[in-house]
Amino acid sequence: MKALLEFENITFTYERNGKAVLQNFSMKIPVGKKCAILGRNGSGKSTILSMANGLLRPNEGKLFWKGEELSFKKKRLIEFRQKTGLVFQNAEEMLLSPTVYEDIAYGLLNAGYKGDLLEKRLMETIKRYALNDLQDRPIHHLSLGEKRRVALAGVMALEPELLLLDEPTSFLDPVQTENLLNELNKIHEQGTTVVMATHDLNLAYEWADLFYVIDYGQLVFEGEPDQFFSNESFVLEKGLIVPILFQVRQLLKDVLELQAVSKEEAVAKIKEMLGQRRITIGG
């Protein structure tokens, strides 16, 4: 698979002479995939996302964007950050302007949009993310789900090729989670590569094409979700658990002859049988 972004032998510490958060870390993010980064608390997931957005510079090693080494010079870094968008776990850290309209406009202005082009892109974004009724509302009056939607809209207004999300569904209710995932699927279908770090293993199993499992700053697994969860002892060793969706699918294989169907078809069948729109038991 062609790599969109590549980490090569990365070592990173937050403090001089401190413990390495990433140690000789290498990973390739392919074009056009829905990827989930998994790992126990403190494994380095958020650090990877921040580095993938150019917010952190490795102490050792290199980053490559479409095969070209990433330069950390100011001009090149600004260009790179318009190609990659990061949505923080705490959306409030990203929302700096008084109203929704002003916040999305702020990001576009910083990217060099002006005049009619600015207004056109701004209104397209507000319409696409169903923010028409919220555009004049103060940021501090928004619900958590609405803040996440505004933060996502602000990032996607710049049409990045790579979208990065840190725990995007934490503290969201099931309906808000469903709406967010529907939007992420639309973004992916329109050609954006999407990478999320999450602790919700049911969500990761249902949504992702590709797993990256991080443990103590190193990549210990890269592959398909079924392959990872099929090795229960390895999963537990890495501080994770086998999600209920995978377990139920395995139990139903013989009964419903699901061996030949895809993971997506199996998950849909399980949810249909349970009479629910989404299984919400957390990973």
pLDDT in tens, the chain (283 residues): 789 999 999 999 998 767 899 999 999 999 999 999 999 999 999 999 999 999 999 999 999 999 999 999 988 998 899 899 999 988 888 898 999 999 999 999 988 899 999 999 999 999 999 899 999 999 999 998 899 999 999 999 999 999 999 999 988 888 888 888 899 999 999 999 999 999 999 999 999 999 999 999 999 999 999 999 999 999 999 999 999 888 887 877 756 565 556 777 777 777 776 665 444 444 4
What ranges make up the beta strands (E) of the chain? Answer: 3-12, 22-30, 34-38, 60-65, 68-69, 84-87, 162-166, 193-197, 210-215, 218-223
CATH architecture for segment(s) 3-274: 3-Layer(aba) Sandwich (3.40)
Every domain of the chain and the residues it spans: 3-274
Amino acid at residue number 146: E
Q: What are phi and psi of 33, to 5 degrees?
A: -105, 160
Count Cβ neighbours within 10 Å for each residue of 204-222 and write b for 16 or more, e otherwise: bbbbbbbbbbbbbbbbebe
Give me the count of residues in the chain.
283
